């Protein structure tokens, strides 16, 4: 082969390699945006009652929620890329109970079973589930959290213990005793002076005494106490009265401070419930959820009350007193306990026990994953996304 032919052959092979579709580690061609099949004009979207992500508005009969709003934003962007003159995408919402998620996403479709193109109801991304079906990028973080009946933040029994403990402190009790002894001393002095006191007009006294008396009276008035409260006209009696007022204020303020500190510490000492403490509690969890799997792995000897796939149902059981603790999805629980009938009656512990990313699920090998991901990330990075979240969770 001549040198010229060899060069031409190399150039042809290089161009062919450059134009070939990229491959991943397994050697399978990657689907690029230009080769992706378009979404069907009617997209079957799986939802269920899971506020604030997906829920049915009773007044309008339409599906609403953070995930629904996100879905509409994504499909709008897809429509823009497709061209506004093209037939619009139409979403067909299909109710998929939590127990039917696997069958709804299985392919080929099982006759007589629910089947969807994408599930936007909240579903935690796990390694096990990713082996069964595909996920988009996560769009919201959540976790396992405990919901409990709301109780007063102040434990009176603990407050009493704290108060007694404060009084027993090596510095507190001697200080209070010293102030009390000084107050009693001045009270005795005031009583002795009043016994020997002869009433006379202040104007008849020496100029220095009059000046001191008026100074003490001014100090008393500055504290809001009028002279008539004491009924004395001599400097000595007024001075002793002022000292008693000061020391009485110190005593009352000191005792009030100790009591306040005891009450505050009793509220701060309220400990969060831990998984290990569920042995002594009647607790419920959604059957088949990641929360049930987590609890059974961590404490296989515990037997929770298994509930249907509804965070609301778990809170209703908790409110009715059928269970002591409900272990559920942090994001949903925080949204629900802020609304009637749970508001001011139930609370969610501040700390989540696990991290659980939420995403949309699709049948394994779905060609719609990449176009949805591209637009999903665009919406999540936009200025509109924080506003959508704030609509449901607040600022």
Res 22: pLDDT:
41
278 and 226 together in one domain: no
Q: What is the pTM of this model?
A: 0.63
How many structural domains compose the chain? 3
113 and 44, same structural domain?
yes
Residues 190 and 236 reside in one and the same domain: yes
Question: Where among 240, 268, 296 does a domain terminate?
Answer: 268
pLDDT number for residue 155: 53
Does 278 reside within a domain? yes
Which of 219, 237, 268 lies at the terminal end of a domain, its last residue? 268
Q: Does residue 145 belong to any structural domain of this protein?
A: no
**3-state SS track over 56-77:** ECCCCCCEECHHHHHHHHHHHH
Instruction: Give the largest CA-CA distance in the chain.
Output: 139
Q: Count the alpha carbons within 13 Å of 315 in the hemisphere toward its beta carbon.
A: 28
In a domain? residue 25: no
Spatial CB neighbours of 40, under 8 Å, sequence gap ≥ 6:
117
Distance of CA 10 to the CA centre of its chain: 62
Task: List Cβ<8 Å contacts ≥24 apart for 265-269.
Answer: 265/158, 265/159, 265/162, 266/154, 266/155, 266/156, 266/158, 266/159, 266/162, 267/153, 267/154, 267/155, 269/155, 269/158
DSSP string computed for 149-201:
E---S--HHHHHHHHHHHHTSTTHHHHHHHHHHHHHHHHHHHHHHHHH-----
Q: Is residue 171 part of a domain?
A: yes
| Whether 264 and 281 share a structural domain | no
263 and 170 together in one domain:
yes
Do residue 229 and residue 251 come from a single domain?
yes
Q: How many CA atoms lie within 13 A of 308 on its CB side?
A: 10
Looking at the structure, tell me whether residues 43 and 126 fall in a common domain: yes
User: What is the domain range of residue 307?
Assistant: 273-348
The reply to whether 261 and 176 lie within a common domain is yes
Q: Based on the domain organization, do 220 and 243 belong to the same domain?
A: yes
% of the chain residues with pLDDT over 70: 61
Decide if 16 is inside a domain: no
Give the pLDDT confidence score for residue 358 in this predicted structure. 97
The pLDDT value given to residue 2: 52
Q: Is residue 146 assigned to a domain?
A: no
Q: Per-block average pLDDT, block size 10, for the chain (395 residues)?
A: 46 42 38 52 94 95 97 93 85 94 90 92 95 96 93 58 64 69 61 47 61 61 52 58 64 62 50 76 91 88 85 94 94 95 93 92 94 95 94 87
Same domain, 280 and 308: yes
163 & 263 share domain: yes
CB burial of 159-186 (b: ≥16 within 10 Å; e: otherwise) equals: beebbeebeeeeeeeeebeebeebbeeb
Neighbouring residues of 242: CB distance < 8 A, sequence distance ≥ 6: 216, 219, 220
Report the distance separating Cα 104 and Cα 119, nearest Å.
9
Give the span between the Cα atoms of 375 and 39, in whole angstroms.
Answer: 13
Task: Identify whether residues 334 and 256 lie together within a single domain.
Answer: no
Tell whether 135 is covered by a domain.
Answer: yes
Q: Is residue 28 part of a domain?
A: no
**Is the bond preceding 166 in cis, omega lying within 30 degrees of 0?**
no
Cα–Cα dist 295/257, whole Å:
44
First to last CA, the chain: 73
- CATH code at position 300: 3.40.190.10
């Amino acid at each position: 082969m001549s040198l010229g032919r060899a060069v031409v052959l190399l150039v042809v092979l290089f161009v062919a390699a450059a134009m070939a579709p990229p491959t991943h580690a397994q050697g399978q061609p990657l689907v690029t945006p230009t080769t992706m099949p378009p979404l069907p004009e009617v997209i079957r979207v799986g939802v269920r009652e899971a506020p604030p992500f997906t829920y049915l508005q009773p007044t309008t009969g339409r599906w609403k929620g953070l995930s629904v709003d996100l879905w509409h934003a994504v499909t709008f962007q897809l429509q823009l890329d497709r061209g506004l003159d093209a037939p619009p995408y139409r979403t067909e919402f299909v109710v998929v109970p939590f127990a039917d998620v696997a069958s709804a996403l299985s392919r080929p479709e099982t006759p007589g079973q629910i089947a969807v193109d994408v599930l936007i109801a909240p579903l935690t991304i796990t390694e096990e589930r990713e082996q069964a079906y595909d996920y988009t990028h996560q769009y919201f973080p959540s976790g396992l959290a405990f919901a409990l009946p709301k109780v007063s933040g102040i434990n009176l029994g603990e407050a009493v213990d704290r108060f007694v403990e404060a009084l027993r402190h090596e510095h507190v009790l001697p200080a209070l005793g010293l102030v009390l002894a000084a107050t009693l001393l001045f009270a005795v002095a005031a009583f002795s002076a009043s016994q020997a006191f002869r009433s006379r007009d202040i104007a008849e006294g020496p100029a220095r005494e009059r000046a001191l008396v008026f100074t003490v009276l001014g100090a008393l008035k500055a504290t809001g106490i009028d002279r008539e409260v004491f009924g004395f006209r001599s400097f000595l009696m007024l001075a002793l009265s002022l000292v008693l007022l000061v020391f009485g204020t110190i005593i009352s303020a000191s005792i009030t401070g100790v009591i306040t500190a005891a009450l505050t510490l009793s509220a701060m000492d309220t400990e969060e419930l831990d998984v290990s403490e569920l042995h002594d509690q009647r607790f419920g969890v959604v059957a088949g959820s990641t929360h049930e799997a987590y609890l059974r792995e961590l404490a296989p000897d515990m037997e929770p009350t298994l509930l249907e796939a509804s965070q609301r149902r778990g809170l209703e059981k908790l409110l009715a007193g059928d269970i002591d603790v409900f272990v559920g999805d942090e994001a949903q629980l925080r949204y629900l306990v802020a609304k009637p009938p749970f508001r001011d009656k139930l609370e969610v512990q501040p700390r989540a026990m696990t991290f659980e990313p939420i995403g949309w699920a699709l049948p394994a090998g779905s060609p719609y994953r990449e176009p949805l991901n591209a637009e999903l990330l665009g919406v999540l990075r936009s200025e509109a996304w924080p506003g959508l979240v704030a609509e449901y969770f607040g600022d």
